Amino acid sequence: MSSDLCLLSAILIAGILFSILFKKLTVTAAITGAIIGLLVFIGAGYTGIIMMAAFFALGSAATSWKIKTKQQLGLAELNKGKRTTSQVIANAGVPAVLGMLAYFYPLQRDIFSLMTGAAFASATADTLSSELGNIYGSRFYNIITLKKDERGLNGVVSMEGTLFGLAGSIIIAVIYAVGFGWNTGYIAVIAVSGTTGNIADSVIGATAERKGMFNNDTVNLFNTCIAALIALLIFYFM
């Protein structure tokens, strides 16, 4: 147990230092991320930490990819994509809550870990689809009306971006499978839930977010929550 604690502490401290030194997170966001990482570990072990790290690495890489092109198009995130505390909570808050639930309800830990995978799959899908879809997309449509719309606006999607999002969900699903046992059913659950959460993000973006009812962080929190609940629903009907 003590060796696990030492290893986990080393991982979390390294994550804090890396994210601050390379300007991926603000100081408070990095500390918040470490606390969330601890809760994720409680619920999903090292596999949960790896899923969280994969989301962070893929998201950071996608945000930084062709950053000059995004800046020219007015699509780059503020502060060169350095994540804030609210963004960390929006993308990983649901897995943190699931980790706490797994602690208090250990008999349900398997389902909570599956829901954690779905939440990270949705967060990854959302980031990859928007960041890479805006660069490689050829045609952009409003997800509600299916009519052509302006690239980068809330609720606007492309086929390329959707495929990038699906790939992100599958990557998280495979990590889950490696850690918890190769179960094609669970891989499908996470991939489908992550993709559904990503689509829900676009739907909310095209409606409530465009009307100013929610900001982007709130929408991201909703999409991870929806993905986790979809995973729960599918699990009980499998």
pLDDT tens by residue, 108-117: 999 999 999 9
Model confidence at 75: pLDDT above 90: no
How many C-beta atoms lie closer than 10 Å to residue 89's C-beta?
A: 18
Q: How high is the pLDDT of residue 78?
A: 62
Residue pair 194/169 in contact by the 8 Å Cβ criterion? yes
Model confidence at 172: pLDDT above 60: yes
Between CA 26 and CA 98 the distance in angstroms is 24
SS3 237: helix
Model confidence at 76: pLDDT above 80: no
Model confidence at 229: pLDDT above 80: yes
- Strand pairing category for 141-142 and 156-157: antiparallel
Q: How confident is residue 5, by pLDDT bands cut at 50, 70 and 90?
A: confident
Q: How high is the pLDDT of residue 150?
A: 92
Mean pLDDT of 39-54: 97
Angle, CA 96 vertex, CA 95 and CA 101 arms, to 5°: 90
Q: How large is the C-alpha radius of gyration of the chain?
A: 17
Residue pair 220/91 in contact by the 8 Å Cβ criterion? yes
Mean pLDDT of 207-223: 96
Query: Which one is predicted more confidently, 77 or 227?
Result: 227
Q: How high is the pLDDT of residue 79?
A: 65
Model confidence at 80: pLDDT above 80: no
Candidate from 80-84, 127-131, 190-194 with smallest mean pLDDT: 80-84
What residue has token string 């606006």? 153
What residue has token string 């997800």? 143
Q: How high is the pLDDT of residue 71?
A: 83
- As a whole-number percent, the residues of the chain with pLDDT over 90 amount to 83
